[in-house]
Amino acid sequence: MTSISIAGAGIGGLTAALCLHAKGFTDIRIFEAVPEIKPLGVGINVMPHSSEVLHNLGLGEALDEIAVRTRCIEYRTRFGHLIQSDPRSVEAGFAAPQYSIHRGELQFLLFETVRERLGADAIEVGKPVTGFIQTDDKVTVLFEDGDSYETDILIGAGGLRCKVRAQLHPDEGPLCYEGTMMFRGATQTDVIGDGRTMVIAGNHDVKFVTYPISEKQRKEGKALTNWVAEVRVDRPRHIQDADWNRDATFDYLTPFQDFQMADMDIVAIMKAAPSVTEFPMIDRDPVAFWTQGRVTLLGDAAHPMYPIGANGASQAIIDGRALAEALAADAGTQGLQAYEAERRPVTAKVVLMNRQGGPEQVLDIADARVKGPDDKIEDLITAQELEDVAANYRAVAGFQKRTV
């Protein structure tokens, strides 16, 4: 039986392990750097095309208990005009729903499922991978503590600063940053609107993104409202040492003082958050290869992208399915090459498209034309212009209706 090692127990690495197990692989080890998986991060979205992967792994019921089935994404101007409502639900024709969820809860669900299905010792925590040595027949995984482990295949899934990627691409430059910071929090609020809508308002420079992330609270008539205030700032802030848990030390409230939303007071929501973190909008240029012999990359390690269009976790999940299918067909170097051939071109396009704003380009189209609360948006933008942006992104990111 082929032995497969995964460096990193993030959403990508854990999903890959479950997909590989579903294809009959049983000798799978995951090595995770941190000594304990804690519920870090705030909200993320699992888009329809990737939640189908999780449903097929038998996790639909568990997801429905914790995550909100997102009905749609509403794009709005800073004056509160509805620019576009982009449906994301099963009722709207997708094979599986979009979920809004706390990242930590999703990671924990995947972590526990891996332990149940692959055995409690399948994941070794507190075991940072530093690199690898490979021959034609084997890979030796190297660890910070001086240990090593022999395996047939190594998957680098260590996220933004993956050591396996660093070894494959030693001359890669620093993380790319275009000037936007994300200030993030989760606030206890009343239910906003239908309790299942994601709202993205403003423009490329000052943008507010919000969505509820707790199904348990929604059922109790409350909401855990996740929000991201995106602000273009003058000077770079902690780029190379970006940390999802860094406390925010910047005035992110002032840029939103004149935002007018009929159904929420966004400054009050931000002020009421128990803690706020800051993280830069960073990515990396697509690389020329992921695979070298018996080693490949997956998730953010393979294609770090701006979290625009809610694609970071989603593309990592889809990588897991593609990898498992390719290795089921050929459990060696050919399988890894087939996986890369399927996924690298697609994800490179998403990385580049997210730099152009992805589906959120509709915000800038509206921002250039709508100058006040009394402007009539329907006189200034055609529905076709907006649908062209959404349809183009759906095609690139791979989540057309009924084709997921």
Ligand X SMILES: Cc1cc2nc3c(=O)[nH]c(=O)nc-3n(C[C@H](O)[C@H](O)[C@H](O)COP(=O)(O)OP(=O)(O)OC[C@H]3O[C@@H](n4cnc5c(N)ncnc54)[C@H](O)[C@@H]3O)c2cc1C
- Which residues contribute to the site for ligand X (CB under 6 A)? 7-13, 31-34, 40-42, 44, 103, 128-129, 157-159, 163, 244, 299-301, 307, 312-313, 316
* Whole-angstrom distance, CA of residue 30 vs CA of residue 38: 17
Q: What is the DSSP string of 352-381?
A: HHHHTTGGGHHHHHHHHH--STTS-HHHHS
Q: Which residue has the closest beta carbon to ligand X? A: 10
Cα separation, 51 vs 67, in Å, equals 11
Rounded to 5°, the CA angle 397-178-41 comes to 65
Quick one: 80 or 128, whose CB is closer to ligand X? 128
For ligand X, the closer of residues 31 and 94 by Cβ is 31
- Identify residue 296 by its one-letter amino acid code: T
Q: How far is the CB of 109 from ligand X (least distance, A)?
A: 13
Judged by beta carbon, residue 11 or residue 114, the one nearer ligand X is 11
Q: CA 175 to CA 197: how far, in whole Å?
A: 32
Q: How far is the CB of 100 from ligand X (least distance, A)?
A: 11
Query: Residue 49 gets which letter from DSSP?
Result: H
Integer Cα distance of 66 and 400 in angstroms: 25
Q: Looking at beta carbons only, is 164 or 389 nearer to ligand X? A: 164
Least CB distance to ligand X at residue 263 (A): 24
Nearer to ligand X, 127 or 294 (CB): 127
Distance CA 340, CA 330 (A): 13
Q: Are 302 and 169 in contact (CB under 8 A)?
A: no
Minimum CB–partner distance for residue 18 and ligand X (Å): 13
Cite the beta strand spans of 88-194 per DSSP E. Answer: 98-102, 123-124, 129-134, 139-143, 148-151, 153-156, 176-190
The distance of closest approach from Cβ of residue 62 to ligand X in the complex, given in angstroms and rounded to an integer, is: 17
Residue 222 or 246: the one with the smaller Cβ distance to ligand X is 246
Task: In angstroms, give the least distance from the CB of 163 to ligand X.
Answer: 4
Q: Which is nearer to ligand X, 261 or 282 (CB)?
A: 282
With contact defined as beta carbons under 8 Å apart, do 179 and 237 qualify? no
Phi-psi region of 375 (alpha: psi -120 to 50; beta: other; left: phi over 0): beta
Q: Identify which of residues 9 and 362 has a Cβ nearer to ligand X in the complex.
A: 9
- In angstroms, the CA 281 to CA 3 distance is 36
Copy the structure tokens of residue 159.
């996220």
How far apart are CB 310 and ligand X at their closest, in Å? 8
* DSSP class per residue in 272-326: T-S--EEEEEEE-PPPS-S-BTTEEE-GGGT----S-TT-HHHHHHHHHHHHHHH
Least CB distance from residue 158 to ligand X, whole Å? 3
Q: How far is the CB of 31 from ligand X (least distance, A)?
A: 5
Token digits for 220?
Answer: 């109790």
Residue tagged 């018996």 (tokens): 294
Question: Cβ of residue 8: shortest distance to ligand X, in angstroms?
Answer: 3
Q: In this complex, which beta carbon is closest to ligand X, that of residue 32 or of residue 215?
A: 32
Indicate the residue among 161 and 260 with the shorter CB distance to ligand X.
161
Cβ(322)–Cβ(340) below 8 Å: no
CA count, 13 A, side-chain hemisphere, 317 = 26
